[in-house]
Amino acid sequence: MQYLNELEKTISDMVQKGRGVLAADESAPTIAKRFKAINVESTEESRRAWRSLLVTTEGLGAYISGIILFEETLEQKTGRGETIPAAAWAQEIVPGIKVDKGKIPLALSPGDLITQGLDGLADRLKVYKEQGARFAKWREVYAIEKHVPSRSGIEANAEMLARYAAVCQAEGLVPIVEPEVLMDGDHTIERHGEVTEAVQAEVFRALRRHHVIPELMILKPNMILPGKDCQRAEPDEVAAATLKVLRRTVPAAVPSINFLSGGQGPEEATANLNAINQQADNAPWNLTISYGRALQQTALHAWMGKAENAEAAQQALLKRVRLNHLAMLGEYKASMENG
């Protein structure tokens, strides 16, 4: 493989015990929604200011090894004048890029979704790499309903993830593979586990079919949770269900499993991660995070779009990543939230 050494170096820089990935790749509609909650208009400048605040948080690199950025962010600069990817790497945080183009309904498969963006991907990756990106991320989404996801939907989404991952490795970027089974609805934790197991098993079949090297990729899965409209599960139950699915579906060769938060609150996501690591029993993978809102939410509300609040926002972010660092080690306690 042409870029083998580059890919191995990126994996080495990203996969480290006690460090995780910060997802700051919100699409324009998503970040507009989050800014609206704090009465901030989403403009190119406000988005630049927020993402600059994140990567210039002193000490962030002790707990965060990678950051997923949105396309416009690659060329934006911090207040100090360096590009945002360069500012991230100054703290040994590897910059990456979201490359999918969002989801649409899957034709002739009611209820199933499929993600766009494969056309021209290799050419786009070349540009992103020149702008400093060293890894990429692609998300496929699976809703749970009575007859959804269908077998054809599961297979189509797996094929998209595998084709994306193969293109990434061919171009020298580590792929983060994100098959997210949503927690929306009233499904039980058992149903969520069954669907996630079917999804992940099919994803790894497709990855093998497309010659993706498992040692040179990262999996970004959902935890196993009851639906939002169902009774909440305790962290130990979430951990047991999640590890059961991972042991059945994920090859030991995959170096890191970076969980998405998937609508969990910040404290809930941290407590569940902690329980997973406490129950991991010498699991072959690094079990860590690729959280977005669960890391950013408290900092965003401390910031409120005001430059004078930047330091308070950065301290809020640091507290959240420190707590998740402890959860990666299985050493988090809920009492620490008030410390």
- Which pLDDT tens digit goes with each residue over 176-230? 999 999 999 999 999 999 999 999 999 999 999 999 999 999 999 999 999 999 8
Tell how far CA 111 is from the center of its chain: 24
Q: How many residues does the chain have?
A: 339
What pLDDT does residue 1 have?
79
The answer to whether residue 339 scores a pLDDT higher than 80 is: no
In this structure, are residues 165 and 176 in contact, taking their beta carbons and an 8 Å threshold?
no
Q: Judge residue 105's burial from the number of C-beta atoms within 10 Å of its C-beta, 0-12 exposed, 13-18 middle, 19 or more buried.
A: exposed
Contacts of 333 (CB under 8 A, 6+ apart): none
Instruction: Report d(CA 132, CA 240) in Å as an integer.
Output: 38
Q: pTM of the full predicted structure?
A: 0.97
Helix (H, G, I), strand (E, B), or coil: what is residue 72?
Answer: helix
d(CA 189, CA 108): 29
Q: Estimate the share of the chain in helix, then strand, then coil, as percent rounded to the nearest 5.
A: 50, 15, 35
Q: Where are the domains of the chain?
A: 4-294+307-332
Give me the active site residues, please: 178, 220
- Any idea which fold 4-294+307-332 has? TIM Barrel (3.20.20)
Residue 315: band (very low, low, confident or very high) from pLDDT cuts 50, 70, 90:
very high
What number is the average pLDDT over the span 138-150? Answer: 96
